[in-house]
Amino acid sequence: MDSPPSQQSWGRSPTSLSSSASLSKSNSDSIQSLSSILNNPHASDAASWGAWWSSATAVAPPEFAPIAVAKAASEVSRSDFHNYVVPIAEAYHRFEDIRNHTSKEQINDLANAAAASGQGEALVACLREVPALYFKEDFRLEDGATFRAACPFANVAENLALQEKLSHYLDVVELHLVKEISLRSSSFFEAQGQLQDLDAKILHGCTQIRHLKDTIRLLDADLVHDARQIQELNGTRTNLLALLQKLRLIFYVNQALSALKLAYLHVHINTIPSEATLPSRLEVADHPNSSKKCHPEKDLASALELS
């Protein structure tokens, strides 16, 4: 006797039953194909993939190779890079200077641009709220056309409104003027501080120059003046010694001439006959060249022998 269909299959159509049957068949086929791939051909039938699939507790934990611990590298010191750092030190410092200078210039440019934009906002706001008539270079309220354009003749209510509007314009200009002054006050006070520092440095430099002048004056009086005086005295002494040598030479020459003259006279006197009278001897001494037997060469030689 056929069993009645289950409650779950009552609401199913034949198409759904056939699709479920085909799905279960495809699942079983895929399991069988996966089992044939994963089974170890060298293992026994008991150790098949099917057994592992059915019983997860029978799976042995995988054995991994132990992790090889690398040996600790030798300690690296700064001296190991000395041969590399020394050749590139100058180029690296130059690169750092250029990079720092460039970054500073960029920061300054950004700051100047921000300051310029902030400083220009006040003028733009004034031009936006206050009519351009009041910002003309040739604005003269006593001019008729300008006065009529700025203060048109109207009734009392419009005049009151115009006064309030002019007061508002003045307040706007004053507000933005104060803002501009506050924006520029930092640079103004910074410039004032720099001028004060520069003034202090100039005064300090003048004081140092004054001290240096006093020190140079003292050194000139204590060392240079005495050294110059010693040099001048040494030159005078050298000149006096040379003059003394020349005077001694002149004195020796004068003595030699006097000795030669005396010897020459002695030779001539000896050549006079003994029977000659004294006046004749004196005459021969006064005029030695008058003697007929006078020979200057022989007389000079004899005088030198006697001397």
| HEC secondary structure over the chain | CCCCCCCCCCCCCHHHHHHHHHHHHHHHHHHHHHHHHHCCCCCCHHHCHHHHHHCHHHCCCCCCCCCCCCCCCCCCCHHHHHHHHHHHHHHHHHHHHHHHHHHHHHHHHHHHHHHHHHHHHHHHHHHHHCCHHHHCCCCCCCCHHHHHHHCCCCCHHHHHHHHHHHHHHHHHHHHHHHHHHHHHHHHHHHHHHHHHHHHHHHHHHHHHHHHHHHHHHHHHHHHHHHHHHHHHHHHHHHHHHHHHHHHHHHHHHHHHHHHHHHHHHHHHHHHCCCCCCHHHHHHHHHCHHHCCCCCHHHHHHHHHHHC
In a domain, 269, yes or no: yes
Mean pLDDT for back-to-back runs of 10 residues, the chain (307 residues): 44 48 54 53 51 50 58 71 86 86 74 60 68 76 77 73 82 82 78 90 95 90 84 94 95 90 76 57 55 49 53
pTM for this entry: 0.28
| HEC secondary structure over 237-282 | HHHHHHHHHHHHHHHHHHHHHHHHHHHHHHHHHHHCCCCCCHHHHH
In a domain, 285, yes or no: yes
In a domain, 292, yes or no: yes
Q: Which residue, chain included where needed, has tokens 């021969």?
A: 284
pLDDT confidence of residue 172: 82
In a domain, 273, yes or no: yes
Range of the domain at 271: 254-306
In a domain, 22, yes or no: no
In a domain, 279, yes or no: yes
In a domain, 100, yes or no: no
In a domain, 284, yes or no: yes
**How many structural domains are present in the chain?**
1
